[in-house]
């Protein structure tokens, strides 16, 4: 029997690995044979995820990605400890629900720093010589919000749209090093961010319409992790520069 | 925070003139007491007062004065 998604012996870096889709992706990658390197702010949450990983050779590092200027030194140190990478999943991200008039520059910077700027900076650092193995796959967790406008979502949608655009550039510029880059664009997934959305939207008409259009229902983190694992694998060797919906039908309905 | 400051912040949030606001003004009489304004109120409480405002608490507000009291 053929194993299509084989990540055996691949070393995969996952940011935002302490919860939600990041944690789910880390666990799945370990189940598929990868050695996983977890990064997030909360050390105790990282330790909880570590316990769930299968196999050995996994590591975790507590780090706050909002410290953009410290990422280079952090990645250098990380690579020196774990070795070159075969994959990178950027799951770190914060939600932002603010009407335009309430978006002060500091908030916009915060959202862009964590959701987008840290993604670019990590990619810049891990694509340097001796930091990656040939065939490395980069996956950013974007959102259907990258292609949909909505009230009170200026900062969040902009950060996800930026992720979608940047992987198109990464893909072309890094192809010569046999590096691929893609984003996955999840719709409403059963995570903390969805809980916050429900708190804000309540039983509003807009929320009802969104769930009607997402006719396969609420997604689970595993639905997104499955696609990410595929993109990390050699089975996806011909997919790069793409933004792939994992959306329960919402973008097509 | 002084009452003047509170009214100033609320006037900005409600998109109205501060002269049109008073503690006894009913929120439902505001021109744009809608979901976006309520969301703006949540952000305001977090940014300016360091407090979390829930949807349930917003539902309990009747007057501008109720909102000002929350801002303590």
Q: Determine, for residues B39 and A98 on separate chains, whether the beta-carbon distance falls below 8 Å.
A: yes
Least CB–CB distance from A152: residue in B15, B36, B44: B36
Q: Of the ranges A125-139, A151-165, A206-220, which one carries the lowest mean pLDDT score?
A: A206-220
Q: Which domains does chain B have, with CATH numbers?
A: 3-70 (1.10.1200.10)
Q: Residue range A145-166: average pLDDT? A: 96
- Kindly report, residue by residue over B13-43, the tens digit of the pLDDT: 999 999 999 999 999 999 989 989 999 999 9
pLDDT, position A194: 78
Q: Are residues B43 and A102, on separate chains, in Cβ contact within 8 Å? A: yes
Residue A203 has pLDDT above 80, yes or no: no
- In the residue annotation, A156 being an active-site residue is answered as yes
ipTM: 0.86
pLDDT over 90 (residue A211) = no
Residue of A nearest to B37 (CA): A99
Residue of A nearest to B34 (CA): A204
Interval A53-86: pLDDT, tens:
999 999 999 999 999 999 999 999 999 999 999 9
The pLDDT of B38-64, averaged and rounded, is: 94
Identify all chain B residues contacting A151, using CB atoms and an 8 Å cutoff. 36
Is there a contact between B36 and A99 if contact means CB atoms under 8 Å apart?
A: yes
Mean pLDDT of A150-160: 95
The top-level CATH class assigned to A11-189+222-245 is: alpha beta
Name the pLDDT band for A212 (thresholds 50, 70, 90).
confident
pTM of the predicted protein model? 0.92
8 Å CB contact of B44 and A102: yes
Per cent of chain A over pLDDT 90 is 87
What is the per-residue pLDDT for A29?
98
Closest Cβ opposite residue A101 in set B40, B42, B54 = B40
Segment A3-53, tens digit of pLDDT: 899 999 999 999 999 999 999 999 999 999 999 999 999 999 999 999 999
Query: pLDDT-based confidence at A209, cuts 50/70/90?
Result: confident
Q: Which pLDDT value is given to residue A201?
A: 62
For the cut 60, the answer to whether the pLDDT of residue A202 exceeds it is: no
By CA distance, what is A198's nearest residue in B? B55
Q: Mean pLDDT of all residues in chain A?
A: 94
On whether any CB of chain B is under 8 Å from the CB of A44, the answer is no
Considering only residues 160 to 219 of chain A, which have any Cβ-Cβ distance to chain B shorter than 8 Å?
Answer: 199-200, 202, 204
Instruction: Please report the pLDDT score of residue A174 as a whole number.
Output: 98
- SS3 of chain A: the string is CCCCCCCCCCEEEEECCCCHHHHHHHHHHHHCCCEEEEEECCHHHHHHHHHHCCCCCCEEEECCCCCHHHHHHHHHHHHHHHCCEEEEEECCCCCCCECHHHCCHHHHHHHHHHHHHHHHHHHHHHCCCCCEEEEEEEEEECCHHHCCCCCCEHHHHHHHHHHHHHHHHHHHHHHHHCCEEEEEEECCECCHHHHHHHHHHCCCHHHHHHHHHCCCCCECHHHHHHHHHHHHCHHHCCCCCCEEEECCCHHHC
């Amino acid at each position: 029997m053929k194993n299509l998604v084989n990540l055996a012996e691949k070393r995969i870096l996952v940011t935002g690995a302490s919860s939600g889709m990041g944690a789910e992706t880390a666990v799945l990658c370990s189940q598929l044979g990868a050695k996983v390197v977890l990064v997030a702010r909360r050390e105790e949450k990282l330790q909880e995820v570590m316990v769930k990983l299968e196999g050995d050779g996994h590591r975790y590092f507590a780090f706050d990605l909002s410290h953009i200027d410290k990422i280079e030194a952090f990645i250098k140190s990380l690579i020196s400890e774990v070795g070159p990478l075969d994959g990178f999943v950027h799951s770190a991200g914060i939600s932002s629900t603010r009407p335009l008039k309430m978006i002060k520059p500091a908030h916009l910077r915060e959202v862009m720093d964590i959701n987008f700027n840290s993604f670019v900076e990590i990619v810049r650092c891990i694509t340097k010589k001796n930091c990656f193995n040939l065939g490395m796959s980069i996956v950013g967790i974007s959102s259907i919000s990258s292609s949909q406008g909505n009230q009170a979502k200026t900062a969040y949608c902009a950060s996800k749209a930026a992720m979608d655009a940047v992987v198109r550039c990464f893909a072309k510029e890094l192809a010569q090093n046999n590096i691929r880059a893609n984003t996955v664009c999840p719709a409403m997934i059963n995570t903390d961010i969805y809980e916050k959305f429900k708190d804000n939207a309540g039983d509003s008409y807009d929320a009802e319409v969104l769930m009607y259009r997402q006719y396969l229902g609420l997604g689970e983190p595993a639905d997104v992790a499955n696609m990410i694992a595929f993109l990390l694998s050699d089975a996806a060797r011909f997919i790069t520069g793409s933004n792939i919906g994992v959306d329960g039908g919402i973008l097509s309905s | 925070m002084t009452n003047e400051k509170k009214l100033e912040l609320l006037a900005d949030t409600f998109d109205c003139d501060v002269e049109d606001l008073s503690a006894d003004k009913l929120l439902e009489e505001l021109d744009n007491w809608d979901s976006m304004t309520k969301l703006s109120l949540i952000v305001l409480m977090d940014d300016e007062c360091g407090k979390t405002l829930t949807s349930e608490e917003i539902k309990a507000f009747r007057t501008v004065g109720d909102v000002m009291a929350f801002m303590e």
